[in-house]
Amino acid sequence: MSVQMNTEYGNIEMASDVISTVVGGAATEIFGIVGMASRNQVRDGINEILNRDNYSKGVVVRQEDKDIAVDVYIIVSYGTKITEVSKNVQERVGYQLEHDLGIKASSVNVFVQGVRVQNDF
């Protein structure tokens, strides 16, 4: 799927993988995020943290009129306040989409797929 935008100069079409990469990069920079998770862990057979090449498996992008809706699947660090981490993801993803791609997100839905203990040695 791709997202289409009309500008005064013509049409712009962005692949959802481009948007997923921006969303995944923004989400994983937040304190308390261990990484991205697959949205279909059973089907994909992935029960691990996604790397940059697989961010599209942890992000769902839907076009709604002129805006987009984004679902982000994450794994959080044990001991962090999940509601605060999720709120930070929503704010950061919305900002990055508008700043980097010029796309306004009508909603950023965060799904916490797991909690992991981090060893900080």
Tell me the whole-structure pTM to 2 decimals.
Answer: 0.84
Tens digits of per-residue pLDDT, 15-41? 888 999 999 999 999 999 988 888 775
Tens digits of per-residue pLDDT, 36-93? 888 775 555 555 666 666 777 889 998 887 788 999 999 999 999 999 999 999 999 9
Q: How many CB atoms lie within 10 A of CB 100?
A: 15
Torsion of CA 89, 72, 46, 85, to 10 degrees: 20
What does the alpha-carbon distance between residue 112 and residue 83 come to, in Å, rounded to a whole number? 10
Task: List the domain boundaries for the chain.
Answer: 2-116
- Answer yes or no: are the C-beta atoms of 84 and 42 closer than 8 Å: no
CA 96 centroid distance within chain: 10
- Answer yes or no: are the C-beta atoms of 95 and 21 closer than 8 Å: no
CATH number of 2-116: 3.30.70.1350
